Amino acid sequence: MKATLIISEEYQNNKPSVFAYVEEFGYLGCMIYPRHHNYPTDMDYWKKQSSSDTHRGFKIVDVEYSMEDLKRAGVLGDVIGKLKMLLKPNPPYSAPPKYKVKRGKRYKEFIEFMMKSSLEYNEIYSYNRDYDKAIYKATNELRELLLKPINEQTI
């Protein structure tokens, strides 16, 4: 099935955002740019847009995907979305109490606050760790799946 693969042009050390547009399915892959640009259906739109604060553009490639690959991409997108919904958010920031010297009541309050905050963040991190790993794994699989037509051409 014909599709348009869109890859953001990022700094050399950053992973570019990879997404594809298939008329029958819509957008698949990383949704950061499509969501930010209100899911345009005209692919010429991406030729005129910049993908970062340094005015880098998008690489646009016409590709062909099998129906199995498209179904798998849809499933991976759903899995990533559902896993993200299971993540616990970090607690809102609150400033620690101020102190002038490292002794006394104010310093003790500061230490208690920092210990409590650290414990909260560690609990959330521990809870989210397995979900984050699964999201990372599914995201990489989706990325490789979308880049497969390009990688096959270069072999």
- Give the pLDDT of the chain (155 residues) as one tens digit per residue: 999 999 888 766 678 889 999 988 899 998 888 888 888 888 888 888 877 666 778 889 999 999 999 999 999 999 999 999 999 998 888 888 888 778 888 888 999 999 999 999 999 999 999 999 999 999 999 999 999 988 776 64
- Rounded to whole angstroms, how far apart are CA atoms 18 and 61? 11
**What length does the chain have?**
155
Q: Where are the domains of the chain?
A: 2-154
Rounded to 10°, the helix 67-86/105-154 angle is 180
Residues β-bridged to residue 5: 20, 61
pLDDT at 155: 46
Place of tokens 């003790």: 108
- Rounded to whole angstroms, how far apart are CA atoms 113 and 34? 41
User: Tokens in use for 66?
Assistant: 């099998």
Letter string b/e over residues 79-110, b meaning 16 or more CB atoms within 10 A of that residue's CB: bbeebeeeeeeeeeeeeeeeeeeeeeeeeeee
Contact (Cβ atoms closer than 8 angstroms) between residue 56 and residue 47: no
Whether pTM > 0.75 for this model: the answer is: yes
User: Coil, strand or helix: which one is 150?
Assistant: helix
